[in-house]
Structure 1
Amino acid sequence: MMKRTILLAGLLVSATLANAGNHTLKWAKAINEVFGDGLKLTAVALEYDAPIDSTSLTLKTYTVRGGEVARVYTNDRAEKSAVSKRGRYVLIALKSPIALPSKRASAAKLIGAAAVVQKTKIKVLGGGKVKALRDTIYTLSTQNIAVDDFKQQTYKDRSTGLGLRYNIFIPRKFEPGVKYPLVLFLHDASGVGKELKNPLVQGNGATVWASPEWQEKHPCVVVAPQFDRLTADDTYHYGDEIRACQSLVDFLKKQYPLDVDRLYVTGQGMGAMSAYVMLLRRPDLFASALLVSGHWDARKLGPLAKKNLWLVSGKKDTKTIAGVDKMLDEWDEHDAMVSEKDWPLEATAAERAAEVHELMLTGSNIKHTRLVGGDGKDAWRVAYSIPGMGEWLFDQRLSKNIDELRAHLLNVTGKEVLLDAHRGDWHGTSENSLNAVFKSVERGRQMVSVDVRKTKDGQLVCFSDRTLERLTNGKGLVGNKTLAELKALKMKDDRGQVTKWVMPMLKEVLNYAKGRILVDIDAPDALLSDIRDVVAEAGAQSVAILPGAVKDEGNWMHKAVVDLDAPRAILRVRKALKSWPVMVELRFSKNNNSLLKHAISLVRGHARVCFNTTEKGLAGNHVDVEKDGDAELVWGDLIRQGGTIIKTNRPERLVEYLSK
């Protein structure tokens, strides 16, 4: 038989020509993915001239040079799939990714060059076969998952005169009325001056957010600039590229429907250092940051003490570790909540998820993970693949400073709807726990409500029930226990599982909330005087909303609760307004309450109108929604009637609704 080399639609084949009547292979494509240490081959797609009988495929049908075949299946397109589908394409998935030679992994070429041999014949549906091809099939076309979905553009910044080259990923479809997060990834110094796509293939700090898996859960815009010179260095000098990056983000906010409260910055090495500068220059721009193997001048970082930051360092990267230690000391001096933890460099996904969960339970706004046994580049390789860390980043929202929050609350004619997280963000943790309050702050809630009870020895604790059984591992009445006895108990989460959290004192919640979040205090009138004393002792008048009016002068805020089903309800509303509350919670058991419209008209212009949707009968049949589509009937109806504060057990759903 005759042999020759042929090129067919991107397929280079050196093989014995098939006999007439047999089906043939048309082309082959390498499928690459980006990992923490670069671009790697993960699969090969082959197209034949007819649909292939999947039953004739085995792990021994093909070999791939340098790799072990893990799965062979058919598909109706040349893409990886979780399930086999009828089609003319055969997908060969590899057990372990194959690192590409540096030249072929370059941003300019991005060529997979996989070498495949079809060792056995395969059957074609409807009859016929494809004979074994004893010689090697070389792929010349590629699919680079996530990388190929970025567009390359240039932004001309007028303030600096710089032309900033950047890669941008846009979700395939913008839903009407939906605002989308943005992630800005900043590369390290080793990428300076390289090809425009280099930030997409040197590691997965950009592509992880554009992957099909992430976009399915969290559709977002991803931006990855390519810098032509150093943007920041170890002497704490930085260039105009940082200003240009900030201008680029401002430009993109005008071009796309971005959620300005959910802009995130992340970077490694030089990129992390540049991110610190951006956060200092524009603290109102980014909600939070994930910073890998980078540090900055600790003496200048005090203003970031209230920011939500997650730092990842290799413990062998002694220079970064020393710099970060100084940063953490500085933040401690500015009352930041800081947590540090050593993690092994290598771990399973389940172990990583547990480590993330443990660190998140600390409630700290600044977290530092030290990877034992790893250096700076090891941290780059590992950080962006840690399960749960990305979810933490996307949970964060830009927190308004307390003066802004207070101004919004006191603007009684304002139309902005404020969210009151009832007992904190307690899903996955304990109601009224410090962790629930921590999570409310992390997620940018404006207000959190806490229930207050008095212990046997006269201390005020945050707890909702009269008895201990439902929410702790204890028994009996809260009022029959001393503070020490209550502190010995552990709180239960929303699944009834005992946690490490203990019942917080009101002053502990207030001390944390100062400068971070408004606190709506729910308590019986009999505790008002005690609550006033605790608030004064904590110096928390700027954040605390008392459950009733106090007579002494001062910077106090209070609320009123009026039951519209009670006798002489309108008179109660008028009386409540005489003490100048900042908010009035109107309660009614049925939607058709005849006094509701009148009561709203009285309150509006004097205080904010609050509705409580945590359970049926507090705002008629308006109850927190559990599924999409109900929000308009519940929260939308109350807002149209004049509600400007919503107290809810489902803050995440209310935020989603309000964003639309």
Structure 2
Amino acid sequence: MMKITYVIGIFLCLIVSPILSQSSTAYFKKIQKSYTNAQEPLVMIAAHRGAHLEEPENSLAALQKTISLGVDIMELDVRFTKDRKMVLMHDKKVDRTTNGKGLVSDFTFEEIRKLRLKHLDQITNEQIPTLEEVFQLAKGKVLIDLDIKDDATIDSIMALVDRMKMEKNCFFFVYEPEEIKMLQKRNKNYQIMIRTENEEGVKKLVASGAKPQAVHIDPSHYTPEVVQAIKNIPARVWINALGAVDFKASQQPAAFEEVLKWGVNMIQTDQPAKLKEYLKGQGKYR
């Protein structure tokens, strides 16, 4: 009986796995299409440092949770170790998020892998992941927002994106129109988001002729005119719900309207599950 059950289990896995894979691929193609469609009415969701309410931030577990939630993007932070290995870490130091102390740049890769990530101040079994490990898990499933904390990593990041053919599976987060042109000169298929700090920054971007797929705006220039100017590039408009909006939305999801009211179509949040549920209820999510 046990042998029969085992055989049936293997048979079901062989049938179900390709179906799930096809479903995942089809869903990711919708994510890719949305990212390059600035006029689409649907809103895209970015999980800040991954879906980290239940898992350590910037971890493979947070990435897997992001994928499982079925949202569009995982935002992450890239730094070099002492021996120039690309790992995920927001802070310059490992103190807040691991059981270690010191600068990321003072650890060799072998040393930093011995550390364990914390969640809610509790030590977990999660290691600090490499960018390559993240790409392997994310490929064909979710977009990766590359928040580059150390400019020295940019050449290595580009080389890894090229080698793993991740051009349409990630996007670079930059601050100047000249950086957009530099990246797209290197590879015309690179996808890019630029941050503007004020309305003048938006005007400078438009005048430059640079063509990012998305523009991150700050509270200083939350206006309908700015949002429309960005959509005319054409590019998607990214806004953060981090902090006060997320806190209020954790209790009352309608608080997300505080950022949605500007007409933006990308939202970064620490509450991706709640935002997805709210957007679906408003007919603004796939």
TM-score (norm 2): 0.85
Report how far residue 398 of structure 1 moved.
8.0
- Name the CA shift for 1:642/1:514 in 2 (closer, same or farther; >3 Å): same
Percent identity between matched residues is 24
1:536 to 162, 166, 170: 162
Q: 2:213 aligns with which of 563, 567, 582?
A: 582
**Counterpart-to-counterpart distance in 1, 2:198 and 2:12:** 54
- Residues 218-229 of structure 1: matches in 2 within 5 Å? none
For 1:613 and 1:541, locate their aligned partners in 2 and report how far apart those are by CA, in whole Å. 27
**CA, structure 1 residues 437+627, in 2 after alignment: closer, same or farther (shift >3 Å)?**
closer
What amino acid is the match of 1:657?
Y
Displacement of 1:524? 3.8
1:540-594 deviations in Å (ceiling 9; x for gaps):
11211112330223421111011128xx434344257x32111111012xxxx46
**In the alignment, structure 1 residue 632 sits paired with structure 2 residue 254:** yes
CA distance in 1, matches of 2:187, 2:243: 35
Find the residue that maps to 1:427 and give its secondary structure: coil
Q: 2:7 aligns with which of 297, 314, 322?
A: 322
Residues 1:643 and 2:269 aligned together: no
Residue 600 (structure 1) aligned to one of 227, 245, 254: 227
Aligned to 1:421: 47
Does 2:34 correspond to 1:408? yes
In structure 1, what is the equivalent of residue 239 of structure 2?
A: 611
Q: How far has the Cα of 1:539 moved from its partner?
A: 1.7
Deviation at 1:475, TM superposition (A): 0.7
Identify, as 1 or 2, the structure richer in helix: 2
| Cα distance between partner residues in 2 of 1:330 and 1:477 | 48
Match of 1:465 in 2: 91
Aligned to 2:115: 489
Aligned to 1:557: 191
Cα distance, 1:328 vs structure 2: 5.0
- C-alpha change, 1:508 and 1:600, in structure 2 (3 Å) is same
Aligned-residue CA RMSD (Å): 2.6
Contact 2:140–2:169 at 8 Å: present in 1 too? Answer: yes
SS at match of 1:319: helix
Classify the secondary structure of the residue corresponding to 1:547. Answer: strand
1:528–1:546 contact (8 Å) kept in structure 2:
no
Separation of aligned partners in 1, 2:113 and 2:277: 36
- Higher normalized strand content (fraction of residues): 1
Matched, 1:654 2:275: yes
**1:512 equivalent in alignment to 2:127:** no
**Structure 2 match to 1:569:** 201
Task: Find runs of 4+ consecutive structure 1 residues off by over 4 angstroms.
Answer: 326-332, 397-400
Structure 1 residues 329 and 484: CA distance shift in structure 2, 3 A: farther
Match of 2:284 in 1: none
Q: What residue ranges of structure 1 are gaps of 5+ in the alignment?
A: 1-315, 337-364, 366-396, 617-621
- Mean Cα displacement is larger for which, 459-468 or 397-406? 397-406
Q: CA 1:515–1:570 in structure 2 vs 1: closer, same or farther (change >3 Å)?
A: closer
Q: Using the alignment, how far apart are the partners of 1:575 and 1:525 within structure 2?
A: 28
Q: 1:101-250 to 2 correspondence within 5 Å?
A: none
**Which consecutive residues of structure 2, in runs of 5 or more, have no partner in the other structure?**
175-179, 282-286
1:46-61 matches, within 5 Å, as none
Code of the aligned partner of 2:82: K
Deviation at 1:401, TM superposition (A): 2.5
Contact 1:418-1:646 at 8 Å conserved across structures: yes
1:9-88 alignment, distance < 5 Å = none
In the alignment, the residues of structure 2 paired with residue 659 and residue 329 of structure 1 have an alpha-carbon distance, to the nearest angstrom, of 32
What is the TM-score normalised by the length of structure 1?
A: 0.38
Shift of 1:440: 0.9
**In structure 1, distance between residues paired with 2:26 and 2:269:** 20
Structure 2: distance between partners of 1:435 and 1:599 = 36
The Cα of 1:646 is off from its aligned counterpart by: 0.3
Residues in 2 aligned to 1:424 and 1:638: alpha-carbon distance in whole angstroms: 20
Q: Find the residue that maps to 1:449 and give its secondary structure.
A: strand
Q: How far off its partner does 1:320 sit?
A: 2.3
8 Å Cα contact 1:612-1:647 kept in structure 2: yes
Q: CA deviation at 1:599?
A: 2.1
SS of aligned partner of 1:536: helix
Contact between 1:573 and 1:599, CA under 8 Å: does it hold in 2?
A: no
> Aligned in 2, Cα 1:552/1:627: closer, same or farther, shift over 3 Å?
closer
Structure 1 contact 518–543 (Cα < 8 Å) conserved: yes
| One-letter identity of the residue aligned with 1:647 | Q
Q: Which digits, 9 at most, give the CA deviation of each residue in 1:241-300, with x for residues without a partner?
A: xxxxxxxxxxxxxxxxxxxxxxxxxxxxxxxxxxxxxxxxxxxxxxxxxxxxxxxxxxxx
Q: Give per-residue Cα distances to partners, 1:490-546, cap 9 Å, x unaligned.
A: 1111x1111111011011111111111111111147133221111112221121111
8 Å Cα contact 1:399/1:444 also seen in 2: no
- Cα drift, residue 658 of structure 1: 1.1
1:523/1:512 Cα in 2 relative to 1: closer, same or farther (>3 Å)? same
Say whether the 8 Å CA contact 2:24–2:140 is kept in structure 1.
Answer: no
Find 1:521's aligned residue among 136, 146, 159.
146
Task: Give the number of aligned pairs.
Answer: 269
Distance 2:251 2:168 in 1: 36
Corresponding residue for residue 177 of structure 2: none
Q: Quick check: which has more Rg, 1 or 2?
A: 1
